[in-house]
Amino acid sequence: MSLASTNPELSENTVAPETLTDGFHLLIDALKLNGVETIYNVPGIPITDLGRYAQREGIRVLSFRHEQHAGYAASAAGFLTKKPGVCMTVSAPGFLNGLTALANATTNCWPMILISGSSEREVVDLMQGDYEEMDQLAIAKPLCKAAYRILHAEDIGIGVARAIRAAVTGRPGGVYLDIPGSLLGQTMDAIEGKNSLVKVIDPAPKQLPAPDAVARAIDVLKSAKKPLIIMGKGASYVQADDVVRELIEKSGIPYLPMSMAKGLLPDTHPQSASAARSLVLKETDVVLMLGARLNWLLSHGKGKQWGAPHSKKFIQIDIEPKEMDSNVEIAAPLVGDVESCAQALIDAMGADWEKPSADWTGAIRAKVDGNIQKMASRLQNNSVPMNYHSALGVIKKVFEDHPDTILVNEGANTLDFARSIVDMHKPRKRLDVGTWGVMGVGMGSAVAAAVETGCPVIAVEGDSAFGFCGMEIETICRYDLPICVVIFNNNGIYRGDDENLSGGDDPATTAFVKDSRYEKMMEAFGGVGIYATSPDDLKRGILTALKTGKPTLINAIIDEAAGKESGNIGSLNPQSIVAQTRAAEAEGN
């Protein structure tokens, strides 16, 4: 692309440098060449014009109110599309805001590229006090999969190519791309510039498991009396849904989906053990880990919920060899991509594969049916004020009737209860806080889900979680996205009835302003605000939002005493000896 066709400052009488291009357009052309269609950003020096030019050249550029949420959107886009989501920020403080999202993407194994403007090297290295001076590359390196700086216009093509390949190859993750401000203004011959661009070929090649590793895994599975498959978001990311389903159904093995793997097979599938989680983790003897890791979300593969120590054998599928034996011994490591490993297991099972005994599957089915039956009455309660079960009973039915809708979910109790109550019926229809449990991902994830899929989105937020990202409802309104935000408002963190232990005038550290009217915020930006005090109010509000497609915020009033400390991870919140003693005395111990 030549400067003559893009520079509005060139008059008709100006001799146009027809053979030149610049860093702005080389970067845009490099991204377009590699299929980048959307950039999530916050404009500012030195990348404001870069966003303008990208928009003019057909890339959709969505501007957020805070870089962190633009980054969360980019990371969610990476999960949904298998292509690197691109976030663009200004230097120093803007870069640091985006870096949180980049680190989160790396932890979750989602492909993302953070592109940030930066100060010039000679000024940074001498620490001469430039505008927003910071050695951003050095800061980014420990927190992402790879980090690169481009100093010369002729290297833009190869720099973008390296970033894309690094983000998606092997175990996906976040990549940082440092763009000094002067790079964007550099010029070079347009033909040479075009020839310097690189289209990445096969950035994420299949990685086939070794035949002897497949045979070992099959032998371990055959030895099982009570086998279990645990599916993680890695199994959802690969979009090999038919292969995963075939493996599950051909093996006949009960499966337990982690939160973002829900819907790979419907949660109502007869082999789903979601409603019998405690039973299957305790009783199983062989566990096949399918795109899941034995991290804190599974108590590291040990502890009381896993029953007797060393009583399990683990088969683990992962593309990263170093993941094996990270917490417990892996009896049969299968190193490769999920699709190739699953297909290899299917082929190795053969036509005479014996499914698990009816004693094991029947016990699980009985437990599932019993737990669902016990839960049913709590979900149908039309209580005022609502509790988590009555409110989520409404949302559960909405997703049953509208399975193509995407659920974004974050909070403490709001997340934990929704994860176990709301069934998913199709893959990649649930986005939540992921491995780190980060608060504030909701609005960014909701924007990405709506933009990348075109599907309606319901974002179910705790009132605390919403506080981290609430200003992005203006972004939702500005782009007129079909997003319905439901805030579970119980006036505080965990619960809204906490007290100041000193007896002073300040509110408790976990308390918010009581009876906050969050829906008025959405109305202020031109969206629809709804105040819901009953399950019937909530149902009407959500169904109206889905029908109209208008940006909507429902302030769902939850009993302030309904929550509990730290949701389901209270054990991670250390208590003082004094607090433990007082708690024991209160219980009469």
Q: Output the pLDDT for position 14.
A: 41
- Same structural domain, 222 and 187: no
Q: What is the CATH classification number for the domain harbouring 187?
A: 3.40.50.970
Question: At residue 101, what is the residue type?
Answer: A
Q: What's the alpha-carbon Rg for the chain, to the nearest Å?
A: 26
pLDDT tier for residue 569 given thresholds of 50, 70 and 90? low
pLDDT tier for residue 389 given thresholds of 50, 70 and 90? very high
Q: Output the pLDDT for position 3.
A: 52
- Same structural domain, 61 and 174: yes
Rounded CA-CA distance 302/459 in Å is: 33
Closest residue by Cα to residue 473 from 443, 500, 493: 443
Q: Is residue 204 part of a domain?
A: no
Q: Is residue 581 part of a domain?
A: no
- Mean pLDDT throughout 106-135? 89
Q: Output the pLDDT for position 131.
A: 79
- Mean pLDDT throughout 157-165? 98
- Same structural domain, 323 and 403: no
Residue 22 has pLDDT above 80, yes or no: yes
CA distances from 160 to 21, 79, 172, 222, 316 (A): 17, 19, 16, 47, 33
Percentage of the residues of the chain whose pLDDT score is greater than 70: 93
Q: Is residue 552 part of a domain?
A: yes
Which range marks the domain in which residue 537 is found? 380-572
- Same structural domain, 238 and 152: no
- Same structural domain, 258 and 330: yes
What the block records as the tokens of 484 is 């319905």
Q: Is residue 586 part of a domain?
A: no
Closest residue by Cα to residue 176 from 142, 202, 126, 125: 142
Question: At residue 212, what is the residue type?
Answer: D
- Mean pLDDT throughout 410-431? 96
Q: Answer whether 0.85 is exceeded by the pTM.
A: yes
Q: Output the pLDDT for position 576.
A: 57
Q: Output the pLDDT for position 586.
A: 44
CA distances from 217 to 309, 333, 548 (A): 21, 8, 50
Q: Output the pLDDT for position 72.
A: 98
β-bridge pairing 20-22 and 187-189: antiparallel
pLDDT tier for residue 127 given thresholds of 50, 70 and 90? confident
Q: Output the pLDDT for position 12.
A: 44
- Same structural domain, 137 and 180: yes
Rounded CA-CA distance 141/482 in Å is: 37
Which stretch of 4-13, 44-53, 303-312, 378-387 has the lowest confidence by average pLDDT?
4-13
Q: Output the pLDDT for position 572.
A: 62
pLDDT tier for residue 10 given thresholds of 50, 70 and 90? very low
Last residue of a domain, one of 196, 219, 251: 196
Residue 232 has pLDDT above 80, yes or no: yes
- Mean pLDDT throughout 12-36? 83
Last residue of a domain, one of 365, 398, 429: 365
**Count: domains in the chain:** 3
Rounded CA-CA distance 336/195 in Å is: 35
Which stretch of 9-13, 65-69, 216-220, 301-305 has the lowest confidence by average pLDDT?
9-13
Half-sphere exposure of residue 16, counting CA atoms within 13 Å on the CB side?
A: 17
- Same structural domain, 106 and 244: no
Q: Output the pLDDT for position 383.
A: 85
How do residues 75-88 score in pLDDT, each as one tens digit? 999 999 999 999 99
- Mean pLDDT throughout 233-242? 98
- Same structural domain, 554 and 452: yes
Q: Output the pLDDT for position 571.
A: 60
Dihedral over Cα of 62, 63, 65, 70: its sign: positive
